[in-house]
Amino acid sequence: MRVLVTGGAGYIGSHTVLALLERGDDVIVVDNFANSSPIALERVAGIAGHAPRVHRLDVGDEDGLDAVFAQERPDAVIHFAGLKAVGESVAQPLRYYAENLGITFSLLSVMQRHEVHTLVFSSSATVYGDHQQAPYREEGGPLGAANPYGQTKVMLERVLTDVAHADPRWRIALLRYFNPIGAHESGLIGEDPRGVPNNLAPYVAQVAVGRLAEVGVFGADYPTADGTGERDYIHVVDLAAGHVAALEHLRTREGVRAWNLGTGRATSVLELIAAFEAASGRSIPTRIEPRREGDLAQAWADTQRAEDELGWRAERGIAEMAADAWRWQSGNPQGYDTVPSGAV
């Protein structure tokens, strides 16, 4: 299949591009590298043995995207591109709404013009807001997120649902990710956030490698087993495989449908830190801090629908996630900016 991947150089994008190349797909990446590195794609090509074709472009550049579609003639699109920092979205809501909605409108217009109707969309467990108790089920009721980033996902799910209802040729998968962590087992690609990480796993990894001093634990008084927040961490390689499964499923299913991509298991902040300590062999200093505004005590997936319909299930556990994240972080302490050892 010829698959066009927006944001294909990013964290989840690069692992998915690799999974597609490894199964023999022809892959086209569209990325502006605003929050990612071209080095990720060079490494993906090294692992796969062949490279995706890369177009450095804003997805919102509709004329540019139109030309890429005319040249590449994709069969399907996986759409990762977009802004994703929760805190930043609270400070800059207009930028988040304009960017995440705007680029998706451009993409949909171009897809429609070129009669490409198969789309896998990056949604998020954040669309459940606090409307349900964990485990979250796809059909469980109204959606709504606590911040503008999450709200762009809620709005785009609505837009895509309306688009699919208006024209039966569309085949759209809404993939609601839980908490992706880990890295490819090679240690060559992984998560490389700009600046100080907002998310727990990259923060812990950077403390373990000595880039940051200690982990602030945001709340130890939640009604959970050890008092810290519980999340459904999913290995990014399993998540990438979930995209491939969704793409396959869309061969036989018209319309639009949402699937949770998680493991169905909850891990606390302290358990995740312990897993990184075991993986790295280093002690990771922590400090208990107040709860972070907007955080939930618990969030994990009901994974039944993805298992039944996509035939997909996450296979890797927390120990493997921490081991793979550590291999990436220790081999690339400054992410893709790391100068290889031996270079001057």
Contacting positions for ligand UFG (CB under 6 A): 84, 86, 124-126, 150, 179, 198-200, 203, 215-218, 229, 231, 269, 292, 295, 299
State the minimum distance, in angstroms, from the CB of residue 171 to ligand UFG. 25
- Count H helices, E strands: the chain? 11, 14
Tokens in use for 340?
Answer: 């290889």
**Alpha carbons 158 and 165: distance in angstroms, whole number:** 11
Tell me the catalytic residues. Answer: 149
Q: Which amino acid is at 295?
A: D
Farthest-apart Cα atoms in the chain, separation:
58
| Identity of residue 106 | S
C-beta of 311: minimal distance to ligand UFG in Å?
Answer: 24
- Specify the DSSP element, H or E, that contains 32: none
- List alpha helices for the chain, DSSP H: 11-22, 38-48, 62-72, 86-91, 93-113, 148-166, 200-208, 236-249, 269-280, 304-305, 318-331
Instruction: Output 112 or 198, the one with its CB closest to ligand UFG.
Output: 198
User: Is 176 or 249 the residue whose CB approaches ligand UFG more closely?
Assistant: 176
Closer to ligand UFG by CB, 55 or 231: give it: 231
Task: Name the residue number minimizing CB distance to ligand UFG.
Answer: 229
Smallest gap, in angstroms, from Cβ of residue 183 to ligand UFG?
Answer: 15
Q: Minimum distance from CB of 218 to ligand UFG (Å)?
A: 4
DSSP3 helix / strand / coil % (the chain, rounded to 5): 40, 20, 40
Q: Is the Cβ of residue 125 or residue 183 nearer to ligand UFG in the bound state?
A: 125
DSSP string, 184-229: -TTSSS----SSS-SSHHHHHHHHHTTSSS-EEEE-S-SSSSSSS-
Closest contact distance (angstroms) between CB of 234 and ligand UFG is: 10
- How far is it, in rounded angstroms, from Cα 132 to Cα 139? 11
* Residue whose tokens read 């990436």: 328
Instruction: Pick between residue 144 and residue 216 the one whose CB is nearest to ligand UFG.
Output: 216
At which residue do the structure tokens 């944001």 appear?
Answer: 7
| Side-chain-facing half-sphere of 159: CA atoms under 13 Å | 19
Closer of 118 and 206 to ligand UFG (Cβ): 206
The CB-of-233 to ligand UFG minimum distance in angstroms stands at: 8
